[in-house]
Amino acid sequence: MSTTALRAGRDTRLHECLISIGSNIEPEMNVTRALSLLNSECDLVTHSQPIRTSPVGFLQQADFLNAALLVRTPLPYAAFRLYLKAVENRLGRVRGLNKSGPRTMDLDIVAWNGELMDQGYLEYDYVRLPIDEVLAASGRSLTIKHER
């Protein structure tokens, strides 16, 4: 995907996206690379400080470095989600049979235009703590729709 497609024209509506970042293969380098790449290709509003966390699910692997960031993009949700998967690939992500296994980079959309999209925010500290830091730093809040 062309990086120029991620820059907005003058009258283009920008969507705000909260992203959870995780890495446990050379995590310091890969989190830094992801932040740099997303900053150069998107409108990076702010990001959290990385935190080190224990793995969840598959425990026989290295600890993770997790962070969060808030970006603005003219891309619609589905296209931006595909873009993030392409960024993971560019950063060396190999998808194996074990979805909870080691990875160079994991980029997940947690909220889109202020609406919670990923229930991991409600379930896992490694998602919630960095996201809450970004929300506080940016003056944003989340809309959480409760299922009945």
Whether 128 contacts 121, CB under 8 Å: yes
Q: Indicate which residue of 13, 43, 93, 125 is catalytic.
A: 93
Smallest Cα–Cα separation from 131: which of 54, 20, 27, 45?
20
Q: Indicate which residue of 10, 108, 128, 148 is catalytic.
A: 108
Number of other residues whose CB lies within 10 A of the CB of residue 24: 21
Q: Indicate which residue of 13, 103, 125, 132 is catalytic.
A: 103
Residue 72 annotated among the catalytic residues of the structure: no
Residue 106 annotated among the catalytic residues of the structure: yes
Q: Which position has the token pair 């959480």?
A: 144
Mapping DSSP to helix (H, G, I), strand (E, B) and coil, where does residue 96 land?
coil
Tell me the CB-side half-sphere exposure of residue 143, using CA atoms within 13 A: 6
Whether 67 contacts 31, CB under 8 Å: yes
Mapping DSSP to helix (H, G, I), strand (E, B) and coil, where does residue 116 land?
strand
Residue 108 annotated among the catalytic residues of the structure: yes
Q: Indicate which residue of 72, 106, 128, 140 is catalytic.
A: 106
Question: Tokens for 67?
Answer: 């962070």
Please identify every residue annotated as catalytic. 93, 103, 106, 108
